[in-house]
Amino acid sequence: MEKLLTLLTAYCIVFSSSAHATISASAEELLRAADAVRNPAKNYRMQIQVVTTTSDQEFEVLLKGSEKTLVVVKKPSRDIGRNMLMLERDFYAYIPNLKRSMRLSLAQKLAGEVANGDIARTRWAGDYTPTIEKQNVDEATLFLDGNKPGLTYSKIRLWIELKTQRPIRAEFLGLDGKTVLKRAWYEEYKTLAGAERPSVLRIEDTGGKRSSIRVLSMEAKELSDSLFSVSYLEKAR
């Protein structure tokens, strides 16, 4: 009986320590972990599909660090050549019929409820200062306050599953930090680039209109700096 009580006590200590370790993770650690779930490496390439109520588009997205992204249109054929480039927080789109690039905002709509920054700037850590609003044994709610100008969303509320460190859902907020502009869900986790990641980001505005970003493929890949230039933007196919 004494041996059994000793084993039970040891089990409770281990369980309690493990739970406490999960719960006591800092806001910054949780945010970096959620980033790592979504992003396989510093440099990577993915094929994505953006579906709205009126359109279906496909893009190749090349990401180098957190400051460089090239978005190449693959479908529909009428939009091929209308590529986009992010350099830090500057965002450019090439207009083939005008034969020139125009500067746009990350917050501008790409299609439906999807903004340019939803595919061009996918990392949170570094762009936002996080604080833990709520937490229990299952999940944490973080409030992300943008610390750089020109971000896609100035403030975000993010729910993270503690056991897996997966992002679950988010609210994209207005400047007041209270007004909900859009809601998003990170869904259909599957193996992408060697780990379980959300393959679908479903976005809904306050009027109930929905759009989705589906990751068709993803791979870590070394990328040359020469790809991330306005001159390459104009010729990428």
88: DSSP letter: T
User: Is residue 12 over pLDDT 80?
Assistant: no
- Region 59-77: mean pLDDT is 95
The overall average pLDDT reported for the chain is 89
For residue 96, is pLDDT > 70? yes
Look up the pTM and report it.
0.86
The answer to whether residue 224 scores a pLDDT higher than 90 is yes
E runs forming strands in the chain: 43-51, 56-64, 68-75, 84-87, 90-95, 100-104, 109-111, 114-115, 128-135, 139-146, 155-161, 166-173, 180-192, 195-205, 210-220
The three-state secondary structure class of 20 is: helix
Confidence of residue 8 (pLDDT cuts 50, 70, 90): very low
**Which CATH number fits the domain 25-233, given the four candidates 2.50.20.10, 3.30.1330.10, 1.10.10.10, 2.60.40.10?**
2.50.20.10
Task: Band the pLDDT of 9: cuts 50, 70, 90.
Answer: very low
The pLDDT assigned to 24 comes to 58
| Residue 156: per-residue pLDDT | 98
What is the arithmetic mean of pLDDT over 134-147?
97
Q: What is the model's pLDDT at position 89?
A: 80
Closest CA to 140 of 168, 114, 164, 159: 159
pLDDT, tens only, 107-126 = 999 999 999 999 999 999 99
pLDDT at residue 82 in the model: 93
